[in-house]
Structure 1
Amino acid sequence: MSLKSLIVLIVALVLGTAMLVLGVFFQRGLQDYGTATAVRAVEVRAQALGTFLSRALYEEWRDVELTAGQIAINEDPEALQVRFDALADDEGKVSWIGVARADGTVVSARDGLLVGQNVAQRPWFQAGLQGPFAGDVHEAVLLAQLLGNDGGEPLRFVDFSAPILGPGGQVTGVLGAHVDWRWVRSLVTEAAAELELDAFIVNSAGTIILATDSISDATGQLSVFRAATLGVDGTYSETWPDGQSYFSRIVPQFGYETLPDFGWRLVARIDPDFVFGAQRQFMSTMALGAVLAYLMAILAFALVLISLLRPLGTLADMLLKLAKGEPVGYVREHTRFREVNTLSEAVVRLQSGPGEGASR
C-alpha cells in the first residue's frame, strides 16, 4: 500500500468516525427536542380547545343565566314565549328553552313545546331548584317525538337550568334549556381539525361521550382515560389500540366565568408525525448532506495530498534509479517544503558525484 493510500484511508476512518459520533449525538438531541416540542404542542392546543369549547358553551349559558334573572314566573306566557323564540336561534344550538313553576308545570316555552306538561322528575328541573346547573349529555325524553329527527340518530341534549327567584328571594320556578348535542359535536370536531388534534370528552363516570376519531372498548383502558376519569391532569405518551404511539393531554375541567361544571374532561391527542415526520425528513436531508460533505472532504484531501506527495514520489524514483546506476534527468529544486528541498538537494549531489558534491 502506498503512503498516499494509507494516509487517505486513515483520514477517511478518523473523519467518518467523528461524523458518526456527532451524528448520534445530534440525532439524540433532535429526538429530545422533538419530544419536548410535541409535548408542548399537545399541551397548548388541548388547553386552547378546552377554552374554546368552554367559552362557546358559556355564551349559551349566559343567555339562560341572564334571562332567569330578568323574568318572573307570573309574567304573561305569550310574552315569555316571544323571548324564548328569540333566544332559540336558527343555528341549531338551542333546541328547547322554557320555564316551569316550582311544582314542575311548564308555563311557557319555545314554540309552545311541553307547555302544560310536568317536568318535576327531570334532572335539569330538580337541579335547577337548587342553583345553576349544567347537565351531562342525554337522549331526549319528552321532546323526542315533538321535535322529530331527520338525522336518523337519537336526539341528545346538554341541559342548562337556573332558578327563578321571587321578590323575597324564594325559588318560584326554573328556567331550562336543551342545547343540541350535534352542535357541540360539530364545534369540537371542527376546532380539533383546525388544531390538528383528535379530541375525546369523558364524563365523570369514565364514559367517552364524544370522540373525533374511532374508538374501541380498549380505548377506555388507556392510562390517559383512567387518569381523566379521576380528574387528574397530565401529559401521556402511550400506544393506542390502533398500534400507534401518541402524545395526549388531559384538560380536567371545562370552566369559563360562571359556567357550571359539566363533570367533563377533555383528552386531546396529537399525531407524533406532526413533529417526528418533519424530523425524519430533516434527518434524511442532513444524512445525505453529511455523506456528500464527507465524500467531498475526502476527495479534496486526496487531491491536496497528491499535490504534496508527488515531489516525494518523483525523488524516490530518482533515488532508486541512482541506486541501480541508471541515468537520472534534471532534478528540479523544490523550495515549498524543507523536507522535499533537502531530498532534492541530496539527489542532485548523488547525481553530481562525490567530488563535485564535496567541491560545493
Structure 2
Amino acid sequence: MSLSLRAKVVILVITLIIFLTTTLSFLTGLRASADLKTEIGISLTDTAYQMTSRLDQYMWGRAGEIRMLSELALLKNPTNLGEVEILLNKMKENYPAFAWIGLTNVEGVVLAGTDGILVGQSIAKRPVYLQGMKGEFIGDVHDAVLLAKLLPNPTGEPMKFVDISLPIKDKDNNSIGVLAAHLSWSWAGQIEESMFKALRDRNKEEIFIVSRLDNTILLGPKAMLGEKLELESIKRAQSGEIGWREESWPDGEKYLTGFASGEGYLDFKGLEWIVLVRQPIEVAYGIVYHLQLFIWLIGGVFSVLFAMVGWGMAGSITKPLTEFTKAADRIRFGGRVEISKYKGIKEVELLTESLTELVNSLSAAETELTKMEAIAHHDRLTGLPNRIGLDHFTMTVSKVAREQNDVIAVLYMDLDGFKNVNDTMGHLAGDLVLKTVARRLKNTVRAGEFVARLGGDEFIAMIFVEKDQQEEIAGNIATRIIQEINKPIIVEGEKVKVGCSIGCAFWLGGDDIQTVINLADQALYEVKRTGKNRFQFIKD
C-alpha cells in the first residue's frame, strides 16, 4: 500500500525525532552517570582516608604522652610511690581516654596504678609487660582481661583496650620496670562520631574499622562487632590500595564501599587498621538515577510534542528534512549545530522552531549537569571549594606552575577556639562563624589564588609567590589572614573572637603537591602544640 507524501513526511519526522532524542538522552545520561559515580566514590574514599589519618594521629599523640611521662625523674627513681600514683592519676584525669596507667618493677609487679588498681598484682604474663620490657610497644585492640571487673563500665558492653608500654631505665640505662597504659577503645568511636555523624544520618553512610590481622570488625554497627569480613575491598586495602568499589556484603545487600588502610603518622608506623565506608547503592547513586530519569522524561515529552507538530506538516519539505538528518548526525557525534531557518512554508518553519527548542532543551539539561558537578566540588555551608574541588585545582595548577616555574605556598589553617563557640552558643552560631571566616579568607587572598574548606574548622589556601621572596610573601599573607580572622564576629548580638593557626609549606615543582599539603599539616600541628594563633613554616 502506497503512502501519501504527507504520511511519509510524518513517519520520517517522528523517526528522526525519536532517533535524535534517544541518542542525545543516552549519551548525556551515560556521561553524567560515569562522572557522578566517580565523584561519589571519591567522596567515600576521602572519608575513609580521613578516618585512618585521624586514628593514626591520635595514637601517635597518646604514645608520645606516655613516652614523655617515662622520662620523668620521679619514675626513673620511684622511691615515693604515693607521688607516682598522684602523677599517674593526674595524667588519666587530663586524658580520659587512658583507662589505666601503671608502673611495674622489673618482675612485672605493679608498684603504682591509677586509682590504686592492680597495685601489688603481677602482670608479668601480659603482652603489655612482656613487650614493654623489650622496647616501646603499641598493641592492637584486645578484650579486657585483668581490668574488666575493676574498671567502671556504665554501658555494660564488653570493654576493649589498646596497649602502650615501654621500659623505664635508671641513670645507668638498666631496665627497672615498665610504664604500661591501657587506652579505652571508645576513643575511636568518639572520633567517628565527631567527624561523620551528620553524613551518616543524612546519607546512610556507615564506617567500619577492621583489624588487618584477621579482618575482625573493631568498630561499626553494634550487631556486627567482632564479626570477620571477607571482602575484596579489604584485600585491596591490605595490599596498600586506596579507592572504592561496588560489592555485596554478608547481609546480601550491595553497597558502594570506600576503603583505605592506615599508613602511620610521622615516626609512628601505625597498626594498619583498615577503614571501610559503605553506602547502599540506591542511596549513593540516587542523584544519578534522578538525572537519568529527568533526561529521559524531557526526551519523551518533546518526542510527543514534535510528533503532533509533524502531523500538521505537508508540502514541499524534503530539502529541510535532509538538512535536519545531517544535523542529527553531527549532534550524534558530539557536534554543536544551529538548525537553519526556512521561510515561506508554515509547517517547515514550525518544525525548524521545534527542533531548535529540542536542541536548546537538551543543551540546558547538560548545563544543569555542569551545575550539579559544581555543587559536588563546593562546600554547601561556606560556598568555598571542598576537598574534591581542591583535588581538581591541584591537578590543574601543578601543571601550570611547572610550565611557568612558579612557587606555590600552601597555608593549612585551623581555627582556635571554634569548638568553644559551638559548645556554648550552638551549631547555628558556629555555622555563622565559619561563613564569616570563609568570606574574610576570600577577601584576604589575591585574585586568582585558591581557598578551600577541608571540613570542620580546617581551611587551606594556595598562594603564588616569587621564589626569592617566598617566605616573606607567604608570611605577610599568613599574618594578614590571622589579623582578619581575629577581628570580632557579631553573633546574636554578642562579639565572638576566634584565632587561627597556620602551617606553611612550599611546592617548588618537584614533589607531589599532596606531599606538600601533608607537610603544611605537620607544621600546623606544631603550631597548635606550641602556641596557636600564629603561623610557622615546615622545618627541614
Structure 1 position 20, deviation (Å): 0.9
> Which of 98, 104, 107 is the matching residue for 2:102?
98
On the 8 A contact 1:220/1:226 being kept in 2, the answer is: no
On the 8 A contact 1:132/1:260 being kept in 2, the answer is: no
- Select the structure of larger CA radius of gyration: 1
Instruction: Go from structure 1 to structure 2 and tell me whether the alpha carbon gap of 1:249 and 1:77 turns closer, same or farther (over 3 Å shift).
Output: same
Instruction: Go from structure 1 to structure 2 and tell me whether the alpha carbon gap of 1:16 and 1:218 turns closer, same or farther (over 3 Å shift).
Output: farther
Q: 1:201-260 CA deviation, whole Å, 9 max, x = no partner?
A: 2224314132423549996232233445x5543433322223332232432335223335
What fraction of aligned residue pairs are identical, expressed as a percent? 24
On the 8 A contact 1:102/1:171 being kept in 2, the answer is: yes
Structure 1 position 26, deviation (Å): 2.3
Who is 2:479 aligned against?
Answer: none
Who is 2:169 aligned against?
Answer: 165
Q: Give me the CA root mean square deviation.
A: 3.0
Letter in 1 for 2:27: F
1:198 pairs with 2:206: yes
1:64 pairs with 2:73: no
Q: Distance in 2 between matches of 1:12 and 1:218?
A: 59
Structure 1 position 130, deviation (Å): 1.8
Structure 1 position 299, deviation (Å): 4.6
> SS of 2:101's equivalent?
strand
Normalized against structure 1, the TM-score is what? Answer: 0.75
Q: 1:168-192 CA deviation, whole Å, 9 max, x = no partner?
A: 3333322111111223234335534
Who is 2:146 aligned against?
Answer: 142
* Greater relative contact order (Cα < 8 A, sep 6+): 1
Instruction: Go from structure 1 to structure 2 and tell me whether the alpha carbon gap of 1:286 and 1:49 turns closer, same or farther (over 3 Å shift).
Output: same
Q: For 1:311-330, list aligned pairs within 5 A.
A: none
Instruction: Go from structure 1 to structure 2 and tell me whether the alpha carbon gap of 1:217 and 1:298 turns closer, same or farther (over 3 Å shift).
Output: farther
1:125 pairs with 2:129: yes
Structure 2 residues without counterparts, runs of 5 or longer: 318-342, 346-540
Instruction: Go from structure 1 to structure 2 and tell me whether the alpha carbon gap of 1:231 and 1:107 turns closer, same or farther (over 3 Å shift).
Output: farther
Structure 1 position 279, deviation (Å): 0.8
Q: 1:315-338 CA deviation, whole Å, 9 max, x = no partner?
A: xxxxxxxxxxxxxxxxxxxx957x
> SS of 2:165's equivalent?
strand
On the 8 A contact 2:29/2:295 being kept in 1, the answer is: no
> Which of 238, 251, 254 is the matching residue for 2:260?
251
Q: Distance in 2 between matches of 1:192 and 1:136?
A: 23
1:23 pairs with 2:37: no
Instruction: Go from structure 1 to structure 2 and tell me whether the alpha carbon gap of 1:246 and 1:120 turns closer, same or farther (over 3 Å shift).
Output: same
Who is 1:73 aligned against?
Answer: 76
> Which of 36, 40, 50 is the matching residue for 1:38?
40
Who is 2:374 aligned against?
Answer: none
Structure 1 position 306, deviation (Å): 6.1
1:237 pairs with 2:246: yes
Who is 1:313 aligned against?
Answer: none
Instruction: Go from structure 1 to structure 2 and tell me whether the alpha carbon gap of 1:134 and 1:218 turns closer, same or farther (over 3 Å shift).
Output: closer
On the 8 A contact 1:218/1:241 being kept in 2, the answer is: no
Who is 2:233 aligned against?
Answer: 224
On the 8 A contact 2:258/2:276 being kept in 1, the answer is: yes
Q: 1:251-281 CA deviation, whole Å, 9 max, x = no partner?
A: 2335223335335322332433454101111
Instruction: Go from structure 1 to structure 2 and tell me whether the alpha carbon gap of 1:211 and 1:106 turns closer, same or farther (over 3 Å shift).
Output: closer
On the 8 A contact 1:81/1:110 being kept in 2, the answer is: yes
> Which of 5, 12, 15 is the matching residue for 2:14?
12
> SS of 2:21's equivalent?
helix
> SS of 2:76's equivalent?
coil
Who is 2:516 aligned against?
Answer: none
Q: Distance in 2 between matches of 1:53 and 1:270?
A: 21
Letter in 1 for 2:132: G
Q: Distance in 2 between matches of 1:237 and 1:336?
A: 57
Instruction: Go from structure 1 to structure 2 and tell me whether the alpha carbon gap of 1:175 and 1:260 turns closer, same or farther (over 3 Å shift).
Output: farther
On the 8 A contact 1:200/1:208 being kept in 2, the answer is: no
> SS of 2:102's equivalent?
strand
Letter in 1 for 2:32: L
On the 8 A contact 1:185/1:210 being kept in 2, the answer is: no
> SS of 2:140's equivalent?
strand
Q: Distance in 1 between matches of 2:142 and 2:122?
A: 19
Q: 1:77-97 CA deviation, whole Å, 9 max, x = no partner?
A: 222222211211377411111
Instruction: Go from structure 1 to structure 2 and tell me whether the alpha carbon gap of 1:136 and 1:234 turns closer, same or farther (over 3 Å shift).
Output: same
On the 8 A contact 2:52/2:260 being kept in 1, the answer is: yes
Instruction: Go from structure 1 to structure 2 and tell me whether the alpha carbon gap of 1:77 and 1:193 turns closer, same or farther (over 3 Å shift).
Output: same
Who is 1:271 aligned against?
Answer: 280
Who is 1:322 aligned against?
Answer: none
On the 8 A contact 1:99/1:106 being kept in 2, the answer is: yes
Letter in 1 for 2:69: T
Who is 1:289 aligned against?
Answer: 298
Letter in 1 for 2:289: R
Letter in 1 for 2:147: L
Structure 1 position 51, deviation (Å): 0.9
Normalized against structure 2, the TM-score is what? Answer: 0.52
Who is 1:184 aligned against?
Answer: 188
On the 8 A contact 2:242/2:259 being kept in 1, the answer is: yes
Instruction: Go from structure 1 to structure 2 and tell me whether the alpha carbon gap of 1:231 and 1:127 turns closer, same or farther (over 3 Å shift).
Output: farther
Matched positions, count: 310
Q: Distance in 2 between matches of 1:265 and 1:179?
A: 19
On the 8 A contact 1:189/1:212 being kept in 2, the answer is: no
Who is 1:209 aligned against?
Answer: 217
On the 8 A contact 2:141/2:218 being kept in 1, the answer is: no
Instruction: Go from structure 1 to structure 2 and tell me whether the alpha carbon gap of 1:218 and 1:111 turns closer, same or farther (over 3 Å shift).
Output: closer
Who is 1:341 aligned against?
Answer: none
Q: Distance in 1 between matches of 2:88 and 2:226?
A: 41
Instruction: Go from structure 1 to structure 2 and tell me whether the alpha carbon gap of 1:22 and 1:185 turns closer, same or farther (over 3 Å shift).
Output: same
Q: Distance in 2 between matches of 1:226 and 1:106?
A: 41
